[in-house]
């Protein structure tokens, strides 16, 4: 049996205008699920949070997250199961691809705002040894399609509009806001926000070699695209045009904040002791989100085979004490 490796990242952005509340709770809870139900060893689970918690020693900056992911991929061998869970803000950036001026590319937002884009994640997955698997669970806004070019298995929903029954904060920082914050000059946004080449110059100037691959010169990006594609599995908290919910502790029984998608996934896993395919897990999580009044629609991006493969390879039953996943407001 192969190794089971995980990187779990929770960003609450404390003491900033972007502050969230449940993201660190999400990844700490997911760590428990991995250890108790999926056979992960604590020495192979790396936790990065921007507020100190036991087991988290590294801040989730863009460079640190990518370094942790690269370490995990470097350790991987055939038969290994790799898992990346991100709970925090997401954003979109105008595409640099010729002829696609209106396309928006997805990204996640580390605590230092050094965005990690769909191109970074795809390039990481291309390094996987044959016979290993890489699953990403992203509880962030605009996370649908976060693995660039992966096949959509469960995507844009046509279900009726849901009237929200829970007050929540969307997990999004608009790229124009990121640009303004990094530049410290709000007027830079005028005529710049959405122009990826100019934004790329700003990011490159600040973060240097740690900048996203998306902001490399065109020739270097073309060389990256020439590599063969491998497979990844993305479970996203919402569609590419939607937001994911962060629910504060205010009024909750037990006073615990949470991310809606992560909590829905945990509830489904808790209530189903046998193996679940990635497709089953996402569809059940969608139903849980709808039941609790959240407007977001979870998505699945993967190959046909991986869509029907067991989530994280298999599931090992664990003790099931009573737990309230979505406390009453």
Residue partners of 143: CB distance under 8 A and separation at least 6: 90, 106, 108, 234, 236, 237, 238, 240, 244, 299
pLDDT for residue 317: 58
Tell me: the pLDDT tens digits for 129-149?
999 999 999 999 876 667 765
pLDDT over 90 percentage in the chain: 48
Q: What is the pLDDT of residue 263?
A: 94
pLDDT in tens, 4-54: 999 999 999 999 999 999 999 999 999 999 999 999 999 999 999 999 998
- What is the reported pTM? 0.87
> Hey, which residues does 154 pair with through a beta bridge?
300
Provide DSSP, 267-285. Answer: HHHHH--S--BHHHHHHHH
89 is a catalytic site residue: yes
Q: Does the pLDDT at position 284 exceed 60? A: yes
In this predicted model, what pLDDT tens digit does every residue of 91-133 receive, in sequence order?
A: 988 876 655 555 678 899 999 999 999 889 988 998 999 999 9
Nearest to 283 by CA among 269, 297, 262, 267: 297
Catalytic residue among 141, 238, 292, 297: 141
Please give the average per-residue pLDDT across 157-185, as a whole number. 67
Return phi, psi of residue 208, to 5°: 55, -130
Query: pLDDT tens across 213-230, in order?
Result: 888 877 566 656 655 555
Of 21, 44, 85, 89, the catalytic one is 89
Does residue 181 carry a catalytic annotation? no
Residue 258's DSSP bridge partners are 247
């Amino acid at each position: 049996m192969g190794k089971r490796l995980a990187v779990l990242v929770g960003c609450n952005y404390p003491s900033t205008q972007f502050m969230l509340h449940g993201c660190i709770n999400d990844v700490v809870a997911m760590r428990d699920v991995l250890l108790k139900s999926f056979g992960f060893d604590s020495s192979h689970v790396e936790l990065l949070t921007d507020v100190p918690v036991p087991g988290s020693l590294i801040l989730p900056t863009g460079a640190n997250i990518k370094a942790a992911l690269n370490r995990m991929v470097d350790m991987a061998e055939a038969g290994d199961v790799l898992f990346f869970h991100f709970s925090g803000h997401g954003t979109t950036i105008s595409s640099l691809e010729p002829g696609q001026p209106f396309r928006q590319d997805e990204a996640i937002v580390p605590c230092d705002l050094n965005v990690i884009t769909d191109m970074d994640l795809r390039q990481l997955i291309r390094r996987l040894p044959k016979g290993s698997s890489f699953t990403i669970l992203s509880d962030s806004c605009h996370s649908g399609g976060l693995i660039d070019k992966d096949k959509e298995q469960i995507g844009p929903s046509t279900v009726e509009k849901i009237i929200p029954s829970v007050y929540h904060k969307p997990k999004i920082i608009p790229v124009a806001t990121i640009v303004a914050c990094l530049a410290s000059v709000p007027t830079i946004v005028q005529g710049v926000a959405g122009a990826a080449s100019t934004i790329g110059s700003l990011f490159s100037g600040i973060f240097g070699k740690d900048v996203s691959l998306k902001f490399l010169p065109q020739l270097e990006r073309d060389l990256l695209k020439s590599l063969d594609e491998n497979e990844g599995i993305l479970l996203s908290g919402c569609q590419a045009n939607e937001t994911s919910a962060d629910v504060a502790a205010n009024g909750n029984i037990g006073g615990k904040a949470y991310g809606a998608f992560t909590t829905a996934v945990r509830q489904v896993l808790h209530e189903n002791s046998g193996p679940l395919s990635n497709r089953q897990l996402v569809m059940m999580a969608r139903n849980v989100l709808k039941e609790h009044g959240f407007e977001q629609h979870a998505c699945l991006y993967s190959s046909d085979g991986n869509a029907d493969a067991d989530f994280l390879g298999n599931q090992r039953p664990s003790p099931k004490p009573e737990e309230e996943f979505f406390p009453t407001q």
